[in-house]
Each structure stands twice: as structure tokens, then as C-alpha cells.
Structure 1
Amino acid sequence: MSTLDVPGAQLYYETRGSGPFMLMIPGANGDADAFGAVADHLAPQYTVVTYDRRGFSRSRLDGPQDYDRRLATDTDDARRLIEYLRDEPATVFGSSSGGLVALELLARHPSAVHTLVPYEPPAVKLLPDGQRWAEFFTELYGLYRRSGVQPALERFREEAFAEPDRQAMAAVRAKDPKKGRYLRANATYWFEHELRQYPAAELDLDALTPYADRIVLAAGRESHGYPAHDATVALGLRIGREVIELPGGHHGHVTHPGQFADALVSALTLGGRGPKA
């Protein structure tokens, strides 16, 4: 088991493959295993590092946490991991909430990032109906506090994701009972510390725009009309970047790992930012 001690936590990470360094930042479940299959497909092209974000699964907290600065802390963890593992900038792929961490990483620590792939970061404040989505997340938190994790997760799936993603999210919880403890704990941690906070984060577009040529925005082909996809498109309009579409929906890296990896590498290569660039 590989770990890195950082202020206030111990980060669990896994490394596979060879080639240029790619760090993959997970989303709401915070668990490296979400990238297991797609990372295997990327490993012939990249040295892929996946990790559990602090407080999730095997990345243990160590001492008091500053939850008012949770996103900044997540960002600093990613920077420390890159600098610890390689003396060079990384290609950084961040999915969902991990995409917000990735964008913050480029804005605050551009020297750590060679290429950034934010995959459907839920920056809902960029949407015309962003306030409605902010209120939805607040209502969802209230449902979680009143009725527990499962009813809140079910409503989250039904309103925020396309049908293929709903099925994938339900299947993950059903087919892996040995991870049940992690899944329950991760969901609780996410509801308490990220559900309302991360989508409400203000992206520093002024800090990102000078590095826009490093950003490859990506979204799922099956996610049209849902908030994370549409927020990605809105972000692209703000920073002058087109959005590439990858197989599947919000969880395409889970449902279509081989196709997803191939399409991602092809898009990066076509844009001059691939593994052989």
C-alpha cells in the first residue's frame, strides 16, 4: 500500500503503467477504485496515479480539518502528490467534483500541470438556472439529514443524471458488498462536506484564462441536458475552449472504460497534448 503524509491526512494512492505522468482525481465518492478499469486501459500510454481524496476510503484524516477551505485543501493535496511522485508537471484528469479540484489546481499551481482534463465539473453557478441547482443541493442535504443517505442518493440520481448513469450508480452499490462500509462512509462524508460546497464554488476564470490552452474540457455523449455536462459547456464558452465528448455519460470512465480511454488519448493526441507530445 502506497501512502503520502500531508498536513492533516494520509493519502492512499496507486500507480500503474509507464510513460508520462497522469494523475486522476475522483469525484463524489472520492475513491481511486472508480478509475480502476479506465486506468488499466491508459497504462500502456501513461504512468497513471489514482488516489483516494482525503477523508474517503483509505485516505485517513489526521487531526482537525479546516472545512471552510476544503476545496483549497483538496487542491493542495493533489499538488503535493504530483510533486512527491515526479519532478515534472502532470496531465491531470479530474471527474465531477474532482474536475473542480483539477481546475483549482491549474489556477493556483500552474507549474504542476502540463495538461488539464476536467470531465463534467459541476460548476453550476455558470448555468442560467444555477440558482435552482444550488437550491436543489440544499434541499438534497435537508433530505439526507431527515431521511438518511439512501433516499437522498436516489433523488440525486433521478434529477441530476441520465438513465445510463443512474443504472451505473445503482449497480456499483449493489454488486460490491465488501466495499459497502467505504461506500456508506464516503456518501456521508460527501453529503456533509461537499454536496453543497463544491458546486457552489466560484471558479477563478481570470486565473484560468491565461492557461486555457492547457485545458481539454470533456463531457459525456449521453449527458446532454444534465447539469454537469451543461456546466462544462458553459465553462468552455467563458474561457474560449471547445468541449470534447467521450463515450458514455457522467460515469463513462466506469461504464465504457476501454472506449473512454481510447477516445481520451486520441483527443489529447489530436490536440498536440497526448502521451507522445
Structure 2
Amino acid sequence: MNNLIMTDADILESLLNRRSLKGISRVVLPEADDERVLSAASQLANRYAICPVLLGQPEKLLQQAAVLNLDLSGCELVDPRTDSRIAALAKLYCAARPRLSVNAATRMLRKPLYFGSMLVRSGDADTLLAGAVYPSARVIEAGRLCIGLASGVDTPSSFFLMFLPEAENPGHRVLLFADCAVNVDPTPEQLADIAVSSAISYGKIVGTNPHIAMLSFSTLGSAKHPALNEYAKQWPRFVPLIPRLSLTASSRLIPLSVTQSPKQNFLTWVK
């Protein structure tokens, strides 16, 4: 049973071994007053040579770290309310919004989530990690307003990763599931966009090209529903939008024996 349990350290080691953090040296953490975030920041700085940028009141963060017996010497502590870059970041934010005053932008950027997002936009940080305290909707909003969507992406989406130990192979099998938190009822166009974005993210994180299967509540056509009819009609138009990706018409997460029912195949291509 222990072989099936992965700790946070195991997952991070797996990501590092797959070179997914190559090129990332400065990570903004706008929820630094949360002890989970402080603990993670200490590990990143001391074990992985990554510089966490902790947003908050430095004196309070250091006091909290002392109580938790955490070493933050490898972290950068930044107070968005007093940081000297806020004026330049406000002007950068207003550059695409002529009707917005710099004063209004400055007030907004005093909030850690927006200040941190603008650090990424300006190039002063490589990435931002949030969601332990802030609701997902606010994190997405800040990202869209301050950083924007990547070129070619029209639909923001989410995904989560599952790391499955494999006894027969070194390392771990990584599965990505999308979209589980943002788009409740995507159109076929949005579904294609989500598939592309998720595949690109998988490649960047894991370092290999993914095989894609479309999740449906209709296993091998066993269910009928208007939504399925629409996808069946529209989806072939969007397959060309997903170049160089392996699209699986019918795929299993876990290999099944020949004695098991085909209805247990729960990942089904909608066609």
C-alpha cells in the first residue's frame, strides 16, 4: 500500500526529474501569510534553488516563519503597498487601458494577487502560484486582466494532475484531467481549445507528448442526450485544430482483462 502513496515531495521530485521546472527561477506567492505557502516556499528555496517571491508584510512573514521554524533566507519578501515598482507596474497595466487612471491601477495593484500577476507580466517573475486562499475565480480574473491569455488561446481552462506510481517502470505515470473547474458546459469550439491548451501544458510540465481521450458519460454510445448529438455533429470540424497530437478514439486509464465488460471503458471519444 505504501507504494501507492505519494507525498508532496515525491510529486515535486517527479516534476523536477521531468525537467518541467527548467527556466523557472522566480515564483510569486501572493498568499504568503498561509503557513502551507510559507512551508512550500522554504522547501523551494532550500532544496531546489528556486527563489520564491513572498508578497505580504515582511516583518509579519518573518515572525510567522520563526514560529513555524522555517528558513526564508532564500526567499524575497515584498510588500506590494510600499514596493518601488508599483508606479511602473501601474503604468504598464494602463498602457492597454487608456481610460483607466494610474491612481486607480495603483490602488488595485496594492492587492497581492494583482501585484504578483503584474510582476509576471513585466518579466520580474517567471510564474505565479495561487489558489490556496483565493477562490479560483479571482485567480483567473487577475491572470486575465494582468497577464492575458497565451497567443492562440481563446478559452481559459483548468486542469489537475494525477501522479500514479508504476511498479514496473521507474518514475510515475502522469495523467491530466481538464477542464474540471472553469468551463461547466463548453461548446465544441471551447472543447477543442481546452484540448489544445491542456496538451500543450502537459508537454511543458511532463516533457512528453500526450495521448488525448475525450471523457463522456456515454460509454461506447450507450447513452443518448442532445448535448452528445451536438458534439457528435460538430466535433469533426475541430479535429484539425489539434495538430500533432495523438487522439484516442477509445482509451482506458487502467488496462482491463478480456473478461471485463466493455461498458467499463469509461473514456470514450464522442463521434
TM-score band w.r.t. shorter chain: under 0.3
User: Which of these two proteins has the greater Rg computed from alpha carbons?
Assistant: 2
Bigger helix fraction: 1
Normalised by the length of structure 2, the TM-score is 0.26
Normalised by the length of structure 1, the TM-score is 0.26
Q: Which has the higher contact order (CA 8 A, sep 6+)?
A: 1
